[in-house]
Amino acid sequence: MIEALLKKLRHYDDISPDEEKALVAAAGEIASFARGATIIRARTELRVSTLLVDGLVHSYKDLADGSRQTVQLAVPGDFIDLHSFLMKQVDHNLAAMSNCRIVGFPHERLVELTRTHDHLSRLLWLSTTIDGAIEREMVTSLGRRSAISRMAHLFCELQVRLEAVGMADPVHAGGCRYDLKVNQEQLSEILGMTPVHVNRMLKELRLMGLLTFKSHVVEILNWQRLAELAEFDPFYLGLRKRPR
């Protein structure tokens, strides 16, 4: 149930059997949400932090003109609102981008965990700072990259993040691919552009022979050139083991 999380954390540092046990013990109930369902509404009081087990969840902000902007995209193994552990209320909505399963971690058990498991709780907090790094990269994309480069960057990032939890072919195995259960409108909310423009940029990536996205499958045809177009450097994802 929390395998993806463990896989991710093991990229940060080794996890002892005892730590694994503690983490499993802290997990609460599992729940399912259908695509589009709201999981957490902004400003509600939270007593549980939520781990995404399967599917995609995004945090988003609504704007007056009816548009919305995704501010964080969670893949399996990510906590979708670990920052609520301290903030108690989040400043954004959380919704299922695809059918998904989640598992709650009651805050009191997380408190207990921080008391009893120093190293493990450091790793959990590290994961929130890496969420911040991902957001900073998103700022860079939205502020300075062209639409096509921004899109390329997103697909690169997802490749690496999904690969880290075993949900994408390794990059080196020639053509890599992964499932991405979103439509073009949802992509446009992530990328800060219109659905029409998403469609055109996808076409361009296809014509350039870099990538295809069809029936919820991303297939990267030329990783190197895609990464160049995106100016992608995975350093910010923090997926290299070092003592924490």
Q: Residue numbers of the site for its own copies (CB under 8 A)?
A: 43, 59, 61, 63-64, 67-72, 83, 86-88, 91-92, 122, 125-126, 128-133, 135-140, 142-145, 191-192, 231, 235-236, 238, 242, 244
Residue found by looking up tokens 């949802």 in the block:
186
User: Taking the complex as a whole, how short is the minimal distance between the CB of residue 217 and DNA, in angstroms?
Assistant: 11
Q: By C-beta, is 28 or 192 nearer to its own copies?
A: 192
Q: By C-beta, is 145 or 223 nearer to its own copies?
A: 145
86 binds, among its own copies, DNA, none (CB under 5 to 8 A by kind): its own copies
Nearest in space to 52 (alpha carbons), one of 25, 68, 22, 72: 72
Q: By C-beta, is 63 or 173 nearer to its own copies?
A: 63
3-state helix vs strand vs coil in the chain, percent to 5: 45, 20, 35
SS3 of 182, please? coil
Q: Which H or E run contains 127?
A: helix 118-144
Nearest in space to 94 (alpha carbons), one of 129, 53, 62, 133: 62
- Binding stretches for DNA (CB under 7 A): 146-148, 183-185, 192-197, 199-200, 202-203, 214-215
13 binds, among its own copies, DNA, none (CB under 5 to 8 A by kind): none
CA-CA distances (angstroms) from residue 192 to 80, 101, 213? 20, 26, 18
Q: By C-beta, is 148 or 158 nearer to DNA?
A: 148
